[in-house]
Amino acid sequence: MNKPGRNDECWCGNGKKYKKCHIDFDERIEEFKAQGHIVPDHDIIKNPEQIEKIKESAVINIAVLDYVAEHITAGISTAEINRWVEDITGKMGGIPAPLNYQGFPKSVCTSINNEVCHGIPSEDIILKDGDIINVDVSTNLNGYFSDSSRMFCIGNVSEEKKRLVNAAKESVYKGLEQVKPWGFLGDMGQAVNDYIKSMGYSVVREVGGHGIGLEFHEDPWVSYVSKKGTEMLLVPGMIFTIEPMINMGKHDIYVDEKNGWTIYTKDGSMSAQWEIQVLVTQDGYEIISY
Ligand code: MF3
Ligand code: CO
Query: Over the stretch 121-170, which tens digit does the pLDDT of each residue have?
Result: 999 999 999 999 999 999 999 999 999 999 999 999 999 999 999 999 99
229 φ/ψ sector (left φ>0, alpha ψ -120 to 50, else beta): left
- Strand ranges (DSSP E) for 106-233? 109-112, 115-117, 132-141, 144-153, 202-203, 209-211, 218-222
| Alpha carbons 1 and 33: distance in angstroms, whole number | 11
With vertex at residue 120, the alpha carbon angle to CA 152 and CA 245, rounded to the nearest 5 degrees, is 55
Taking the CA of residue 210 as reference, the ligand 1 atom at the shortest distance is 9
Q: What is the pairing mode between strands 285-289 and 276-280?
A: antiparallel
Is 147 touching ligand 1 by the criterion CB < 6 Å? yes
- The whole-chain average pLDDT of the chain stands at 98
Give the global pTM: 0.97
| Alpha carbons 141 and 135: distance in angstroms, whole number | 19
Work out the average pLDDT over 208-212: 98
Is 207 touching ligand 1 by the criterion CB < 6 Å? no
| Alpha carbons 290 and 285: distance in angstroms, whole number | 14
Is 101 touching ligand 1 by the criterion CB < 6 Å? yes
pLDDT > 90: what percent of the chain? Answer: 98
Taking the CA of residue 101 as reference, the ligand 1 atom at the shortest distance is 10
pLDDT band at 45 (very low <50, low <70, confident <90, very high): very high
Work out the average pLDDT over 50-65: 98
Query: Which ligand is in closest contact with the Cα of 137?
Result: 1
- The residue nearest atom 9 of ligand 1, judged by CA position, is 209
Is 138 touching ligand 1 by the criterion CB < 6 Å? yes
pLDDT of residue 27: 97
Is 55 touching ligand 1 by the criterion CB < 6 Å? no
- Strand ranges (DSSP E) for the chain? 95-96, 109-112, 115-117, 132-141, 144-153, 202-203, 209-211, 218-222, 239-242, 245-247, 253-255, 263-265, 271-273, 276-280, 285-289
**Sheet of 115-117: strands edge to edge?**
115-117, 263-265, 253-255
- The residue nearest atom 8 of ligand 1, judged by CA position, is 98
Asked if 126 contacts 104 with a C-beta cutoff of 8 angstroms, the reply is no
Helices (H), 72-125: 78-91
Work out the average pLDDT over 187-201: 98
Q: Is 261 exposed, middle or buried (0-12, 13-18, 19+ CB in 10 A)?
A: middle
Query: Which ligand is in closest contact with the Cα of 240?
Result: 2
Is 118 touching ligand 1 by the criterion CB < 6 Å? yes
* Residue 155 Cα to ligand 1 middle (Å): 26
pLDDT of residue 79: 98
The 10s digit of each residue's pLDDT in 252-269 is 999 999 999 999 999 999
